[in-house]
Amino acid sequence: MNRTRELSGQLSDEETELAPSHMAAATGDMPTYQIRAPTAALPQGVVMAASPGSLHSPQQLAEEATRKRELRLMKNREAAKECRRRKKEYVKCLESRVAMLEVQNKKLVEELETLKDICSPKTD
């Protein structure tokens, strides 16, 4: 399955700016979504392998490889879920920030208008 990323390294400006977690909300006053997963206990059914030193036959090696792959897939599945959850949360944060700023902007515009009214010379 050769799905090479021809666009690799080509993060859009949006993506870069949105960068979650470690970069957090650039503007600070948002509860950054830097939440760690609650105690990374292994998901159900994960059993640690016998120590690698004890594997010999090709059969055992194959089983070990399969086991490793399944473990990796399971972990990645969980990681993807968590990643998506965090991303959703982050987007929510951004949306509420937008809402906040819109309100704030509206207030400022109104204030500006009243100040203009006050300051402008009466022309009648």
- Show Cβ contacts of residue 33 under 8 Å, excluding neighbours closer than 6 positions: 20, 21, 24, 86, 89, 90, 93
Q: How far is the CB of 47 from DNA (least distance, A)?
A: 14
Residue 34: CB minimum distance to DNA, A: 9
The amino acid occupying position 52 is: P
Residue pair 21/86 in contact by the 8 Å Cβ criterion: yes
Considering the complex, what minimum distance in angstroms separates the CB of residue 77 from DNA? 5
Q: Binding of DNA at residue 75 (CB under 7 A)?
A: yes
- List the one residue from 26, 35, 40, 115 that touches DNA (CB under 7 A): 40
Q: Judged by CB under 7 A, does residue 107 bind DNA? A: no
Tell me which residue of 38, 30, 41 sits closest to 85, measured CA to CA. Answer: 38
Residue 35 is a binding residue for DNA (CB under 7 A): no
Q: What is the spatial distance between Cα 76 and Cα 61, in angstroms, rounded to a whole number?
A: 22
Q: Is 104 in the site for DNA (CB under 7 A)?
A: no
Distance, in Å, from the CA atom of 48 to the CA atom of 61, rounded to the nearest integer, reads 15
Residues that bind DNA (CB under 7 A): 1-5, 7-9, 11-12, 15, 18, 20-21, 37, 40, 73-77, 79-84, 86-87
